[in-house]
Amino acid sequence: MELRDMLFMVKNGEISIEEAEKYFRKKSFEEMGYAKVDMQREIRSGYPEVVYCSGKADDHLLHIFETLYRENGEVLGTRASKEQYTLVKQSIPEAAYDEISRILKVEKPGKQKRGRIAVCTAGTADIPVAEEAAQTAEYFGNFVERVYDVGVSGLHRLLAKIEEIRLANCVVAVAGMEGALASVIGGLVERPVIAVPTSVGYGASMGGISALLTMINSCANGIAVVNIDNGYGAGYMASQINRLAEREL
C-alpha cells in the first residue's frame, strides 16, 4: 500500500487515526528503505550493482549475472576466475573476460568515455590492480589514461609522463613495496590522488600493510587511500570525481 493511499483512507475516514499512526510508526523504517536507495543507484547516479565474483557459488553467480543482464543490459563482475568466465559465457555469449584485471563483464557497445582519469603504477606487478581500477572506471563511462611502471626508483620515467598525468581530473596511484609513488605524484599534481596500496612486495611488506602506512602518512596534500589491492574501489571513486568535474552545472 502506498503512502498516498493511506492518506486518502485517513481523509475519507476509512481508517482510524490510531491505526494510521501505528502504520506510520512502523512504516517510517520501510519508507526510507529499499526503493528509495535503489532509485538513487539506478536513476540518479547510474552506478548499477557490481558483482564481486570471488567465492560465489556457480549457480548463484550465474543467476546474478543473468538477472542483472536482463534488467540493465550490461553487468560488471570483479575478481572472477577463468572458470567463472566459461560458466557465464555458456549462458551469455557476449560475456568478455580480462585475465589481467580478472574482470568479467557484459558491456553495452559504443559507450562514450568522458573526462579523464590517470591510472599510474609503480611497477609492472601492480598492473592487475591498476587494470581493475581502469576498467571499472571505463565501464562507468570515464576516459582513462594508463601510465604504468613509473615508480620512484627511476624517477625520470615518472617525470617524462607528468604532463599527461596533470591533464586528468583525478589520479589513481597504484603501488606496492614501499608505496612512495603516491607521495611523489601528490607533490607534482594539483588534482585529487586516490592511492591504492598493493600486496606486491616481499620481506617486511606484510602483504601491503607497509605500502598502506606509507600512503596514509604521506606528507603531500590531496591524497586519500583505499584498501590494499582494491582497484575496484579506486576506480569507483575516481569515476565519482571525474563525473563531478565533467557535469554541466
Q: Residues 27 to 56: which contact a second copy by CB under 8 A? A: 27-34, 36-38, 40-41, 44-45, 47, 50, 55
Binding a second copy (rule: CB under 8 A), the pick from 95, 137, 173, 241 is: 241
Please tell me the distance from the alpha carbon of residue 244 to that of residue 217, in angstroms, as a whole number: 27
Least gap, CB of 111 to a second copy (angstroms): 20
In sequence order, which residues have a C-beta less than 8 Å from that of residue 150 and are 6 or more positions away?
120, 121, 122, 157, 158, 161, 181
Which residue's C-alpha cell is 611523489?
184
CB 232 within 8 A of CB 78: yes
Q: Which is nearer to a second copy, 20 or 92 (CB)?
A: 20
> Is residue 244 part of the contact set for a second copy (CB under 8 A)?
yes
Binding a second copy (rule: CB under 8 A), the pick from 75, 119, 130, 194 is: 194
Enumerate residues 89-148 that contact a second copy by CB under 8 A: 122-125
Least gap, CB of 130 to a second copy (angstroms): 15
Report how many residues bind a second copy under the rule CB under 8 A. 107
Enumerate residues 63-92 that contact a second copy by CB under 8 A: none
Stretch touching a second copy by CB under 8 A, among 66-74, 86-94, 105-113, 186-194: 186-194
In whole angstroms, how large is the CA radius of gyration of the chain?
Answer: 23
84: its cell numbers: 567463472
Nearest Cα neighbor of 130 from 94, 172, 191, 102 is 172
57: its cell numbers: 557459488
